[in-house]
Chains A and B, each alone.
Chain A
Amino acid sequence: MADPAYLAADGTLTDGAAWVALASESPSAAAAIEWDMRAWTGTKAPSQYVNLVVVMAAQDGVTSQATGEISLKINDDGSNSNYDLLLFSGDGGGSFASTRPAASRIVAEVPAYHNTAKKFGGAVMWFHDINSAKYKTVLIRVAADRDGAGVVQSRLITWTKTEPIERLRFGATELNIAAGSQFDLYGLLPRMVTR
């Protein structure tokens, strides 16, 4: 685990790594991914980070369809009406934009286990200014190819709540993210000392 090490042994501020690896999950069986950061202390305490980044390579564990979706709950909020989405999606045949109010918590369209056990979708998600009193903005880029099918997407999600982000939960169809999926969480520090 990287250590931001912005407190020297004598207690003075210094600067260390700006990106701190906070958590890593790769389920061995279909499961949801959940990080409850409220109990994290020290260099893992979320209150010290300005942004969070999640890097994901995931597959939906659903077996009845070729593609699936990864969904997000912030602070255990599962109400779609509290999330606004700007989606831009493209595949080999065209592109479209949408707000999809009934699916505003979806962070990525990904291949499903039914399609092939080897195809996973990738995404990088930026959670901005997580401790502010602003509504929280999540910028996401998705790549989920399936040998020429599949999609590339941009998603901008606004969670219309002002509280700090303290919990993240990722699920999939029937709540099953496939085994072998990978989720990594990073905390981004601001400049900690005056230059």
Chain B
Amino acid sequence: MAAIEAIDSFYVQNAVSYITFTVPTGYQHLQLVASMRDTETGNWGTLDKVFNSQTSGGYSHNFMYWYGTYEARGSDVGQGEARSYGMAVNDRNPWIPQQIYGATVIDIPDYAHTTKNTTWKYHGGNGMGVSIDNTATNVTAWGAWAAIGGGTFDNAASQPHSGLTTIKLRGDSGQLERGFEVTLYGLKSS
């Protein structure tokens, strides 16, 4: 028996608004590994996860982030999705090459529980315009961004939890770009 199995994979051929994983039972933990870019406008992007189609709030998230020589921290409270920063965005062409995609590894421990809040943690980012950052006066304009973060889904309306059965992935706006690639892995226990 393999300890880590690929549950499902997507490779986007034409831009799509979202991807949905159906999460089977039989694993102890989940891991999402993605190479990501979307069509949105803005200086930064997130890969958003919606658990069990629940978008009515309850997702909170703390993170540290950095670009250039700037470092900071932040939080999102009571959002409608589980955010992970580091998505490459599309609107800075031609300065930002189309070949730049963000990368992330997201862990969702003990996803099938029925009494715990669902948590996620991640490490992700993209190198958009790092070279340009070296000379730019406003580095945020170019979109390079890396972050470590994690959060908890605590939706009182859905208590008790029934375990994670679906994960919908989307950007915070726009569509997932051609070349967006993601695999959901399942980790088994003994």
Chain A interface (Cβ within 8 Å of chain B)?
Answer: 15-19, 50-51, 84-86, 88, 95-99, 101, 126, 128-129, 132-135, 137-139, 141, 154, 156-158, 160, 162, 188-192, 195
Knowing A135-B99, A139-B103 touch, does A88 contact B66 (C-beta < 8 A)?
A: yes
- Chain A residue numbers with a CB within 8 Å of B133 are 99
Q: Is chain B's interface secondary structure helix, strand, loop, or mixed overall?
A: strand
Summed over the interface, the residue pairs from A and B with CB atoms below 8 Å come to a total of 131
Segment among B67-75, B110-118, B165-173 that sits at the interface with chain A? B67-75
- Chain B residue numbers with a CB within 8 Å of A189 are 6
Question: Could you jot down 14 A-B contacts, CB within 8 Å?
Answer: A17-B5, A18-B2, A18-B6, A50-B183, A51-B33, A97-B66, A97-B68, A129-B181, A137-B125, A139-B103, A139-B125, A156-B103, A158-B130, A192-B6
CA distance A132 to B13 in the complex (A): 13
Which chain B residue has the least Cβ–Cβ distance from A85? Answer: B130
Residue B102 interfacial (CB < 8 Å):
yes
Interface residues of B in 125-144 (CB under 8 A from A): 125-127, 130-131, 133-134, 144
- Chain B residue numbers with a CB within 8 Å of A128 are 33, 35, 101, 103
Contact A86 B125 (CB under 8 A): yes
Contact of A86 among B8, B146, B179 (CB under 8 A): B146
Residue B16 interfacial (CB < 8 Å):
no
Which chain B residue has the least Cβ–Cβ distance from A133? Answer: B99
Interface residues of B in 60-102 (CB under 8 A from A): 64, 66-71, 97, 99-102
1/0 contact string of B3-37 vs chain A (CB within 8 Å): 11111110100000000001000000000010100
Contact B99 A154 (CB under 8 A): no
Distance to closest chain A CB from B152 (angstroms): 21
Contact B127 A158 (CB under 8 A): yes
Contact A17 B2 (CB under 8 A): yes
Interface residues of B in 172-187 (CB under 8 A from A): 179, 181, 183, 185
Which chain B residue has the least Cβ–Cβ distance from A139? Answer: B103
Distance to closest chain A CB from B113 (angstroms): 23
Other A-B contacts than A101-B134, A154-B123, 17 sampled, CB-CB below 8 A, are: A17-B2, A18-B6, A50-B183, A51-B33, A86-B67, A86-B130, A88-B148, A99-B69, A129-B103, A132-B35, A132-B101, A134-B35, A134-B100, A137-B35, A137-B102, A154-B146, A162-B99
